[in-house]
Amino acid sequence: MEILLVIIIGLLHAGGLYMLLRRSMFKMIIGLILLGNGANLLIFLLGRLVKGHPPVIEDGMKVFADIYADPVPQALVLTAIVIGFGLQSFAIILIKRVYNVLHTDDLDELNSTDEEI
Amino acid sequence: MLIAVILGFIFAILVPFFSKFVKKAIPFGYSLLPLSLFIFFLQFLGEIKSKGHILFHYQWVPSLGIDLSFRLDGLSLLFALMITGIGALVFIYTTYYLKGHKYLDRFYGYLSMFMASMLGVVLSDNLMSMFIFWELTSISSYFLIGFNNEDPASRKSALTALSITGFGGLVMLSGIILLQAVGGSYSFTELLNSSEIIKNSTTYGWIIALFFVGAFTKSAQFPFHFWLPGAMKAPTPVSTYLHSATMVKAGIYLLARFTPLLGDTFWWNSTLITVGAVTMVFAAIHSVLRVDLKSILAYSTISALGILVFLIGIGSEKALLAAGIFILAHALYKAALFLITGIIDHETGSRDVTKLAGLQQVMMPVAVAGFIAALSSAGVPLLLGFISKEVMYEATLQFGDWAIILTALAVLTKILLLVAGFWAGIKPFTGTLPAEFGKAKLPSPLLWIPPFLLGVLSLGFGTFPSLITESLIQPVFSSISGSDTIIQLKLWHGFNLVLVLSILTLVSGGALYWFLKPSNDLFQKTVRFEAISPQNIIEGGGKLFGSFAGIWTRFFQNGYLRNYVITILAFLTLLMAYRLFGEVNIYIDWNQISAVSHYEIIVVVLMIISILFAISTNSRSVSIVALGVVGFANCLFFLFYSAPDLAMTQFSIDTLTVLLFMLVLVKLPKNKQYSSKGIKMRDALLSLLFGTLIAILTLEVFEEPSSSEVSKYFAENAYILAKGRNVVNIILVDYRGFDTMIETVVLVIAAVGVYSLMKLNLNPSKKDL
């Protein structure tokens, strides 16, 4: 299973980078999100895959009795997902705004900054 | 000693404040600075004579082995005396020469800064601090040469001088670092003990080559000589100071200083002899082709520097002695000639040697000074120049197989220099005064006393060499050659070959002066060679380098963000791929890999398909939906592998993103095709490579055994310390609570940004949101 996940991580990174290199700002955001997903999955995978043992201590116990999934990567990924959302929503609104003002989605047309807005 | 060196810098900083308060008397007051320093150094004469050298040590950056330690021995004392002594004369001279100039105080500031840097160069024992002072001389000479800042030619000359000498300084720095690497110290005194180790090391060739570049650029040796004539754009006191005793002699000082340490090897001697000989002959020929007094002096200075390099290159005791005397003799007569040129220029407004004549009728004392200086430069008996010339011929005659050629070159140079010296020091003062200079008159004594004094010294030292033999020349000789031989300077050597050569020089030089009249035609004939002159070649090289830098910059800094990304990632990918395939053993430990169940396969396939869709589709909504599916599939993975919190977060966030996307972007027009097929292929290839690399890296990292100390600590203490059962939650809100708070702040900022972007209306007339 890990092999399959590794392939998916590679695919997400490749796809994300490809989209990041497009001229359309919309595609850039898609690329950003794909990359974010890939990175999250990567960190998660490196915490080792454990099935059916979430890092939650059972009722009545003070410590884990059984094996448990690594909580640290999970905490990291959780933070990353939330921050990623902040970034994405800001970027989405920003390109919407840019499009409204300049009527283009093409990054290369944003080179001159002197246009009156 | 430290105070003596940095006094000039302090003074340079204070000058602008002084002049605000006291206007008139100050220029004379300024001259007290070099004068008192001169006296300060004079009193070391006796101590140096008896002790050899004195060290002064001040800590600066001990952790890097850089100290402000100073070494006073014969050589540095001679230079210190010349720097401060001629400095004092130049200061006095300037008070009248630039009287009333609006930037006079600025000029004194530069001048004293330059003097202090020069003192630093010649006194430093630590090579690093020497380098710093060395560069300071380049910088302060830049200000001095470009003093007439409104004249474009002056600015250009200053820049040329700065770039050539500054470049040489940097090259020398690498030499210093190499030297430290081999010799184990930055201190010259300590390095002296490991001279043999350095000479036998493999990097010796590099060290001397780098030092040579530093010395040759500073001392205007061929092919770096051209900045010196250009530097004549400076006011005459500056030319006097920079070119007779200080700036250009710094390179000579460097070579002389390092002779006991690095010298006396085949490469050292042959390089110096070759470069010195080429320079001295080349510049001597040039000097008699010029008509501008300052140009004549500039080229004769280059030629004299060539002679010095040549003598240091020969390296025998006689030659080093000759170099030591010639440094002093040259400084005395060349400074005098420059000052006299300044007087002529000041009084007649002309420096054209073809026109100047008969000035002895109005300025007799100047004529006398010029006469003495010219005779000393020619090496007429009873003058210091004579002694230096005699010793020099002795040195070349002793040089084995090549003696005849070297002596011939030396004689030729001396003959030409004699002509140049006579043109500068005698010709303006003979014949009848042309009518156009009728208004010329004897200037203030402030102008003519300095060159007169220098002339007296040339005459005094030349007639009674015992005045300086023991007190000055002997220590100089010992510190250059490192030997203890007792030297003797005599006026009369008896009838021998040297005397014959001297007479030959004087007679043929005199004859040449008689027959060869300075004229512009001669100079014009050389112009056609301009295209292959070193100056042109180096300037062309500079331009080429500039345009190359332009192309390079435009290629990499092209303003397209994605091209930057491509460059960085392509480089990174290649580099990591090289490491991975070259040295890392890729393996998979199947014991660590868990089995695959059928529902997992479904999710994987789903994910791959949606990724491909998200990339390839042209429809905006389809790609948003595909993105949503990717997110949900991710969410399922989290769920499968014991991360319910992540799954929940991912689920809600993904839903929100898709909704936001749909609401905001669906109104935009259809995606356009911006890129051509070729570019798409290129990007796809790079992305695939990058993705593969990340995948392999992930696998490799995964295979590495990892330590989970941190996780273990959190898991074991989650309930005991933090009273919570969900360890992920405990980490976020308890152990890393502060992080989470900051993260919340970031989210709030993003939310404020989003809100204001939605509401902001830059153009009130259009309500387009």
Asked if the structure places residue B394 within a domain, the reply is no
Q: Examine residue B150 and state whether it is found in any structural domain, yes or no.
A: no
- Return the pLDDT at A14: 92
Task: List pLDDT tens digits, range B164-205.
Answer: 888 889 999 999 999 888 888 888 888 888 888 888 888 888
Which residues of chain A make contact with B732, given a CB cutoff of 8 A?
75, 78-79
Q: What per-residue confidence (pLDDT) applies to B204?
A: 87
- The one-letter code for the residue type at A62 is K
Q: Is A102 on the interface with B (CB under 8 A)?
A: no
Number of domains in chain B: 3
* Same domain for B699 and B562: yes
Q: Which chain B residue shows the shortest CA-CA distance from A49?
A: B641
CA distance, residue A35 to nearest chain B CA (Å): 10
Residue linked to tokens 């905490």: A75
Confidence of residue A35 (pLDDT cuts 50, 70, 90): very high
Instruction: Give me the mean pLDDT over the B307-328 stretch.
Output: 88
pLDDT the model gives residue B525: 65
CB contact at 8 A, B446 and B95: yes
| Range name among A105-109, B629-633, B694-698 with the lowest pLDDT average | A105-109
pLDDT at site B533: 67
* ipTM for the assembly: 0.90
What is the rounded CA–CA span in Å between residue B32 and residue B684? 76
Does B440 fall in a domain? no
Q: Is residue A8 part of a domain?
A: yes
3-state secondary structure B585-613: CCCCCHHHCCCCCHHHHHHHHHHHHHHHH
Residues B656 and B690 in one domain: no
Query: Is 90 exceeded by the pLDDT of residue B460?
Result: no
Q: What is the domain range of residue A101?
A: 2-55+64-108
Residue type, B426: I
- Lowest average pLDDT, out of B120-134, B230-244, B247-261, goes to B230-244
Residues B690, B575 share a domain: yes
Minimal Cβ distance to B596: which of A1, A33, A108 = A1
Return the pLDDT at A69: 83
Q: What is B662-688 written as a DSSP string?
A: HHHHTTS-PPP--S-HHHHHHHHHHHH
Place of tokens 């749909």: B662
Q: Does residue B522 register a pLDDT over 70?
A: no
The pair of three-digit structure tokens given for residue B217, joined into one six-digit string:
């650029």
- In this complex, do B646 and A68 lie within 8 Å of one another by their Cβ atoms? no
Q: Which amino acid is at B10?
A: I
Residue B503: is its pLDDT beyond 50? yes
Q: Is residue B699 domain-shared with residue B715, that is, in the same domain?
A: no
- Looking at every residue in chain B, the average pLDDT score rounds to 83
Using only C-alpha atoms, chain A has a radius of gyration, in whole angstroms, of 20
B683 and B666 share one domain: no
CB < 8 Å to A24, chain B? 671-672, 674
- Decide the pairing of beta strands B66-67 and B70-73: unpaired
pLDDT at B590: 76
Region of poorest pLDDT, from B80-89, B425-434, B640-649, B683-692: B425-434
| DSSP H helix total and E strand total for chain A | 3, 0
What confidence category does residue B355 fall into, taking pLDDT thresholds of 50, 70 and 90? Answer: confident
Same-domain status, B607 and B643: yes
Contact map slice: A 49-88 vs B, CB within 8 A: 49-59, 61-64, 68-72, 74-75, 77-79, 81-88
Specify whether the backbone of A48 is left (phi greater than 0), alpha (psi in -120 to 50) or beta. Answer: left
Same domain? B670 vs B682: no
Of B501, B297, B305, whose CA–CA distance to B395 is shortest?
A: B501
Q: Which residue has the higher pLDDT, B445 or B165?
A: B165
Q: Tell me what the mean pLDDT of segment B654-668 comes to.
A: 82
- Per-residue pLDDT of B273-302, as tens digits, reads 999 999 988 888 888 888 888 888 888 899
CA distances B765 to B538, B750, B762, B768, Å, are 61, 27, 9, 9
Tell which of B674, B690, B720 closes a domain: B674
Nearest residue on chain B to A80, alpha-carbon basis: B743
Q: What is the 3-state secondary structure (H, E, C) of B548-572?
A: HHHHHHHHHCCCCHHHHHHHHHHHH
Question: Phi and psi (nearest 5°) for A56?
Answer: -125, 125
- Inspect the interface and report whether the beta carbons of B642 and A52 lie closer than 8 Å: yes
pLDDT at residue A117, rounded to an integer: 45
Residues 6-35 of A with CB under 8 A from B: 6-15, 17-24, 26-27, 30, 33-34
What pLDDT is recorded for position B262? Answer: 84
Question: For the segment B99-125, what is each residue's pLDDT rounded down to a tens digit?
Answer: 777 777 788 888 888 889 998 898 888
Question: Are the CB atoms for B321 and B391 separated by under 8 Å?
Answer: yes
pLDDT number for residue B769 = 44
* Contact yes or no for B13/B78 (Cβ under 8 A): no
Residue A117 inside a domain? The answer is no
pLDDT score at A62: 78
Q: Which residues in chain B have their CB less than 8 angstroms from residue A33's CB?
A: 627, 631, 657
Give B549 to chain A, closest Cα distance, Å.
Answer: 23
Positive or negative CA dihedral for B212, B213, B216, B219?
negative
Question: A74 — phi, psi (to 5°)?
Answer: -65, -45
Measure CB to CB from residue A14 to each of B631, B690, B716 and give the nearest one.
B690
Mean pLDDT of B75-99: 86
Contact status, residue B559 vs residue A111, Cβ threshold 8 Å: yes
**Residue A19: inside a domain:** yes
Q: Tens of pLDDT along B29-53?
A: 778 888 888 888 888 888 888 887 8
Q: Please report which confidence band the pLDDT of residue B704 belongs to, taking 50, 70 and 90 as the band edges.
A: confident
Q: What is the DSSP string of B614-632?
A: HHH---HHHHHHHHHHHHH
Distance, in Å, from the CA atom of B183 to the CA atom of B195, rounded to the nearest integer, reads 8
At B352 the three-state DSSP class reads strand
CA distance readout (Å), B187 to B2, B77, B179, B329, B722: 17, 18, 10, 30, 61
Task: Answer yes or no: is B621 within a domain.
Answer: yes
Indicate the pLDDT class of residue B652, thresholds 50, 70 and 90.
Answer: very high
Quote the pLDDT of residue A104. 73
Instruction: Please indicate, yes or no, whether residues B576 and B695 belong to a single structural domain of this protein.
Output: yes
CA distance B543 to chain A (A): 30
The rounded percent of chain A whose pLDDT value lies above 90 is 19
Q: Do B646 and B623 lie in a common domain?
A: yes
**Is A34's CB within 8 Å of B716's CB?**
no
Residue B450 has pLDDT above 80, yes or no: yes
Q: What is the per-residue pLDDT for B21?
A: 63
Which site among A12, A21, A45, A79 would you substitute to test the B interface, given the most B Cβ atoms closer than 10 Å to its Cβ?
A21
Quick: pLDDT tens for B710-728. 888 888 888 888 788 888 8
Among B478, B495, B496, smallest CA distance to B487 is for: B478
Distances (CA, A) of B681 to A7, A108, B625, B684: 21, 19, 25, 5
Q: What is the pLDDT of residue A37?
A: 92
Q: Is the peptide bond before B465 cis (omega within 30 degrees of 0)?
A: no
Task: Give CA–CA dist B750/B759, Å, rounded.
Answer: 14
Residue B642 lies in a domain: yes
Rounded Cα distance, A95 and B9, in Å: 57
List strand residue ranges (DSSP E) for B435-572, in order. none
DSSP B707: -
Taking the CA of residue A114 and the nearest CA in chain B, the distance in Å comes to 15
Residue pLDDT, tens place only, B553-580 = 887 777 777 788 888 888 888 888 888 7
Name which of B133, B127, B130 is nearest B188 in CA terms: B127
Residues B721 and B739 in one domain: yes
More confident residue, B107 or B707: B107
Residue A112, pLDDT score = 57
pLDDT computed for residue B673 by the predictor: 67
Domain that holds residue B661: 598-674
Query: For position A19, which CATH number holds?
Result: 1.10.287.3510
User: Are residues B667 and B617 both part of a single domain?
Assistant: yes
Domain count, chain A: 1
Q: Rounded distance, CA B718 to CA B726, Å?
A: 8
Most confident of B19-33, B179-193, B476-490: B179-193
Q: Name the DSSP class of B532.
A: G
Residue A47 inside a domain? The answer is yes
In a domain, A116, yes or no: no
| Whether residues B746 and B612 fall in one domain | no
* B382 φψ region: left (φ > 0), alpha (ψ -120 to 50), beta (else): left
